[in-house]
């Protein structure tokens, strides 16, 4: 299947009219002049990190930090599912499953997100999906019933669009415009919401930028400033924060994702409890994406610390830890994770490495052309 033009220009025009498709913005790319062939560990780290955080956080999804500590202490190892007898202990959920769908779509469709192809993959995914979010289920049920991909998406700013966008960043590490457009298309199939689109672009951009950043050289303030520049023109009108009536210093005024992300650097150095109180870590992407970025930037040279802290914060722990793991792995590579996380105890280890290696070839070919 070919590139998104086969999806129909009228469908794309309707997306743009709804603020779900970014305008073209001439750019020099995220990492001009970068030798992509050197980035194998970072590509594998981004996808393995996605699965590691997902699998580690799976048993505590929906629990509070207090409940997690009481039940598990400090959770640093995969916990087998109920009645487990053999196979990998670290089993993943929809975060990783849908990330693999996006990667396979890119690889099958000449390096572009074709929403028709992605919709077919999500239809096939639904019966075997784990931990499925409401918006994704509703949208994929509509797709299954024959609703066109550009009409099936739900008006939801949940994190289901962002959490699967890492492959888009890896595929388009040298082309910001293509990254923005493909991330938006990957989101709109299920999430017809401008903030969800902005979050998918942000997650893909972060993975790409961190893969291109040598270990030990990260400037958190510059990273966040450049991220905000990459998404500042998107059509996200903002939304009120959850529970603003009961939380200190919150109001009903809409908050844009880009503005909440811009606050992350000033919270570095705060305790995880204080940061969680401000950002929160639920499935609302205004909460979970900034929270994941905060966890990573609080321990950028220590992937284990970053991912475990994300898990211990609870609530939507698998998704926040999954995104945190993607950032840590992209930045320091797959070998930076403890071997107990990245070996046979992690589900889909070989498949994820293979997808990462093929995405690197894809990106290198795009750069060469």
Mean pLDDT for the stretch of residues 312-331: 98
List C-alpha distances in Å: 193 to 162, 199, 269.
12, 10, 32
Residue 208, burial from CB neighbour count under 10 angstroms (0-12, 13-18, 19+)? buried
User: pTM above the 0.85 mark?
Assistant: yes
The pLDDT of residue 366 is 78
Measure the CA–CA gap between 216 and 307, rounded to whole angstroms: 18
The pLDDT of residue 84 is 80
Is the pLDDT score of 333 beyond 70?
A: yes
Q: Which tokens hold the place of 343?
A: 């070996």
pLDDT tier for residue 244 given thresholds of 50, 70 and 90: confident
Q: Write down the mean pLDDT value for the chain.
A: 93
Q: What radius of gyration, in Å, describes the C-alpha atoms of the chain?
A: 19
Give 5-19 pLDDT, tens digit per residue.
445 678 999 999 999
The pLDDT of residue 369 is 59
The pLDDT of residue 4 is 42
CATH class of 39-78+87-238+247-363: mainly alpha
Q: Are 348 and 92 in contact (CB under 8 A)?
A: yes
Q: How far apart are the first and last CA of the chain?
A: 20
Q: Where are the alpha helices (DSSP H) in the chain?
A: 9-17, 40-57, 65-72, 94-108, 115-125, 134-144, 149-152, 166-171, 176-188, 194-211, 220-231, 257-262, 264-267, 272-279, 285-298, 303-312, 317-332, 339-342, 349-368
Give 163-197 pLDDT, tens digit per residue.
999 999 999 998 899 999 999 999 999 999 999 99
DSSP string, 1-66: ---GGGG-HHHHHHHHHTT-SPPP-----SSTT--GGGGHHHHHHHHHHHHHHHHHHGGGTT--HH
């Amino acid at each position: 299947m070919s590139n998104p033009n086969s999806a129909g220009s009228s469908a794309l025009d309707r997306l743009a009219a709804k603020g779900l498709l970014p305008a073209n913005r001439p750019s020099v790319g995220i990492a001009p002049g970068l030798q992509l062939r050197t980035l194998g560990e970072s590509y594998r780290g981004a996808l393995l990190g996605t699965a590691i955080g997902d699998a580690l956080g799976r048993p505590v999804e929906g629990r509070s930090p207090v409940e997690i500590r009481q039940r598990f202490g400090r959770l640093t190892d995969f916990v087998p599912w109920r009645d487990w007898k053999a196979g990998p202990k670290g089993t993943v959920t929809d975060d990783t499953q849908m990330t693999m769908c996006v990667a396979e779509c890119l690889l099958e469709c000449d390096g572009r997100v074709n929403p028709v192809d992605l919709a077919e993959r999500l239809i096939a995914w639904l019966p075997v999906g784990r931990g499925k979010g409401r918006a994704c289920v509703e949208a994929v049920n509509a797709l299954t019933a024959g609703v066109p991909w550009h009409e099936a998406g739900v008006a939801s700013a949940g994190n289901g669009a962002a959490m699967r966008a890492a492959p888009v960043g890896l595929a388009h590490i040298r082309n910001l415009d293509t990254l923005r457009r493909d991330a938006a298309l990957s989101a709109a199939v299920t999430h017809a919401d401008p903030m969800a689109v902005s979050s998918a672009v942000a997650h893909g951009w972060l993975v790409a930028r961190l893969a291109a950043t040598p270990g030990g050289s990260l400037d958190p303030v510059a990273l966040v400033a450049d991220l905000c520049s990459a998404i500042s023109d998107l059509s996200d009108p903002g939304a009120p924060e959850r529970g603003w009536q009961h939380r200190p210093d919150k109001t009903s005024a809409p908050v844009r994702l880009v503005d909440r992300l811009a606050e992350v650097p000033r919270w570095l150095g705060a305790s995880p409890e204080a940061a969680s109180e401000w950002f929160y870590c639920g499935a609302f992407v205004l909460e979970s994406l900034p929270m994941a970025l905060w966890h990573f930037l609080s321990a950028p040279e220590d992937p284990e610390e970053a991912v475990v802290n994300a898990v211990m914060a609870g609530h939507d722990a698998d998704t926040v830890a999954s995104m945190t793991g993607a950032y840590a792995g992209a930045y320091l590579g797959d070998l930076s994770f403890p071997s107990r996380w990245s070996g046979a105890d992690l589900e889909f280890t070989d498949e994820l490495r293979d997808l990462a290696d093929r995405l690197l070839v894809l990106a290198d070919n795009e750069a060469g052309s």
